[in-house]
Structure 1
């Protein structure tokens, strides 16, 4: 089953992305799980290895139906807030019972600065989802020593601007890349991803 997955990488703007994910919400969990969705657990474990206080609130940006929040909860994170563009996806996230708060956001909307010492953007940035601007949005909102875990799947890695966005922070010393690993994303369709953990300096 790859009906919506086949469409996901062709969405080109915030409106079409929101519409796609609103329509996909009811079958999203089943479709990605059938294809072995591995990135959420990989991201959660990578972040856990670099965070001292698992009781500190974490922001799950682009939380979707909550599979990322479930992975964070299973890894030991205790207080998780989620935000997403899609109201239908957020309805799915509410059923997971792992979030303290869930809110819908607008594309490019501001985040509270220094509100979270850890953030996650799991499966969020790339073709058919959010642009690399989201990385900069999250990094600006992080406090010093704050950590961000995120992923780029193989489609996102085809665009050099995405890893170039990481370099914009690390090359000037504004952030340090703590972790990078290539591995399974959706093995059912042969798709892999990089997982990253970055620390703001």
Structure 2
């Protein structure tokens, strides 16, 4: 029996692309902004593109913040992608303006310092040694990124992610930053698995197998 994976539609993110990617790996995929459907699904995927502040407003309008907290409180799987990952941190800083995030993880989402911004294109990831997300992926596998902000690895706050229950994978574009986090029922990637071809499909398969 296939697992039900719902893509939360809060006005930000490539929901159709995410739905197709989940269906490709065998999930019973759908898109919804309905509170009950998002709560009842085996897995909830939070996409996200654009500005941190706008995504937070859109998420709150559909009570996505409540959905995420309730699901995590009961150990039900959630996966965030791109800004859908960023909003899980304490705050986002864009153009000098600070916006509170969900605060599930410590740290700030800040502008990357790199010769070329945005970071757009394919990049390798230094996967955590005990990662479940990257099972089956070679070290030289590349994933598709498109972003200008990230949780910079040099931030003292990001040290709060370094504990035995959290797996943090990293990459570098100008400077090191957090590329993925796995913490119990909550997984997230800064890159786009749904745009990363077979490599992304492997990661989504790994997530679906946990549902």
Higher strand share: 2
Classify the TM-score, shorter chain. Answer: 0.3 to 0.5
More relative contact order, 1 or 2 (CA 8 Å, 6+ apart): 1
What is the TM-score of this pair, normalised by structure 1?
Answer: 0.38
What is the TM-score of this pair, normalised by structure 2?
Answer: 0.37
